[in-house]
Amino acid sequence: MTDSSVFYRSRKSYPVAVRAEGVYVFDDRGQRYLDGSSGALVANIGHGRTAVADAMAAQARRLAFVHGSQFSSDVLEEYASRLAGFLKLPGFRFWAVSGGSEATESAIKLARQYHAERGDLERYRVVTRRPSYHGASLGALAASGMGARRELYTPLMNESAWPKLSKPNPELSGEADAERLRTLLEELGPQTVAAFMAEPVVGASDAALAPSPGYHARIAEICREYGVLFIADEVMSGMGRCGAPLAVQLHGPVTPDIVVLGKGLAAGYAPLAGLMASPTVHDTVMNGSGAFKHGFTYAGHPVSVAAGLSVLDTVQNENLVEAARERGTQLLAGLRTLRSRHPQVLEARGHGLLLGLILGDPATGEACAGPGLAERVALAARTRGLLTYPGTGAVDGTRGDHLLLGPPLSIRPAEIEELLAALDGALSDTG
């Protein structure tokens, strides 16, 4: 243990970051790290963008804070409308919060209130999937299908309120795969279910797992048929990361009832997350009791929203959604080459720049968890100056240990090659 006053996440030692620029982070010893995971898939436009910093400073000077119970703000008004346009969600309303867990909690509460406003008090369940990750606060954690993170809190998590559907199976057609939701709803009694929430491309819990085309369109149909709200948790997959503004739209137009956003929204320049609510959901609440019975003090903080607006300008002006598609194709091809060179890499997958490597036992070719396999590769990569996002698997139906890769969408082709070379080295070091 060091004599620091900081309460670190764990006992391991953390380098001290002092500055960042483009795709690189620098520590106090002068070591440079290529940010191969954008932190935790956050820094979508890269680091050190002075335009964003300037926009935040100007906003702080002009109007740093108002409380949502007293004011909207000009910057929030502009941002909400720009965001709905960018995401192709006409008429949707933006509810701002500070982080992804607050955003999924808000979505769950909004779904519950939507049904209550219609006099339907029986719908309390929120169906999610196993594995999944929707956040660390207790409601979001209860919704998450990640046993290891929930274990300590089990008595607080009344399982009957949070039924789990099994994960997408890309070997099935999207439609057949989605039909399993119908079966589960029938078993539960659909009149008890408020919402189905899922990550369109799975993030932290199962490294970039995506269903076959057609899945989300059929999920939306089934939800509509049973009066269940479809919540797309795009905290990680949204804002262009997967090569479309929203991952749920990757294979054609699909309109969820609520879309949850975070991470890439302000791309790490400020804490900003939120949800987009459909006109029906919004109007049902406003024409009913007249208020969403929920709120956080810092919701819609003008400085965070100014950061979000400047990030959105950058994403649009630099065509970063298209860049995510192109650089994602390059990175995925490189990862597949690594798979042929390193037997412990069992699979490389994902969309755009949300990509995952599944690691396993090179002797048996079986997916497995550890011991600390992904952690060891991540540590070796860090020693070589590359940051990745490791996850421990083979629990909750994941395939095995895995690494998420998701550099900034602004990464250049030569930097992708540098990333691949460092990863190649790290896999050799640990193979």
Tokens at 261, concatenated: 């956003």
> Any contact of residue 134 with ligand PLP (CB under 6 A)?
yes
Whose Cβ is closer to ligand PLP: residue 93's or residue 129's? 129
Q: Distance between CA 256 and CA 69 in Å, rounded?
A: 27
Tokens at 272, concatenated: 């900003």
Residue of 236, 266, 332, 403 that binds ligand PLP (CB under 6 A): 236
* Binding to ligand PLP, residues 20-79 (CB under 6 A): 40
Whose Cβ is closer to ligand PLP: residue 249's or residue 284's? 249
Which segments of 318-383 does DSSP mark as H helices, in order?
320-341, 373-383
> Any contact of residue 209 with ligand PLP (CB under 6 A)?
no
Q: Which residues pair with 387 in a beta bridge?
A: 35
Element (H, E) at 21: strand 17-21
> Any contact of residue 401 with ligand PLP (CB under 6 A)?
no
Residue 21 near residue 48, CB atoms below 8 Å: yes
Element (H, E) at 195: strand 193-198
Mark the segment that binds ligand PLP (CB under 6 A) among 14-22, 133-141, 382-390, 395-403.
133-141
Count of CA atoms in the C-beta half-sphere (13 A) of 197: 36
> Any contact of residue 406 with ligand PLP (CB under 6 A)?
no
> Any contact of residue 261 with ligand PLP (CB under 6 A)?
no
The minimum distance between CB 234 and ligand PLP, in angstroms, equals 7
* Binding to ligand PLP, residues 179-208 (CB under 6 A): 199, 203-204
* Binding to ligand PLP, residues 75-104 (CB under 6 A): 99-101, 104
The minimum distance between CB 262 and ligand PLP, in angstroms, equals 5
Tokens at 290, concatenated: 């007249």
Measured CA to CA in angstroms, residue 302 lies from 29, 78, 131, 271, 314 at distances of: 35, 11, 35, 11, 18
Mark the segment that binds ligand PLP (CB under 6 A) among 50-58, 128-136, 248-256, 312-320.
128-136
The minimum distance between CB 343 and ligand PLP, in angstroms, equals 29
Residue of 197, 207, 232, 235 that binds ligand PLP (CB under 6 A): 235
Measured CA to CA in angstroms, residue 249 lies from 81, 140, 179 at distances of: 19, 24, 19
Q: CA dihedral defined by 212, 217, 221, 224, rounded to 10 degrees? A: 120
The minimum distance between CB 9 and ligand PLP, in angstroms, equals 12
Q: Which residues bind ligand PLP (CB under 6 A)?
A: 40, 99-101, 104, 133-136, 199, 203-204, 233, 235-236, 262
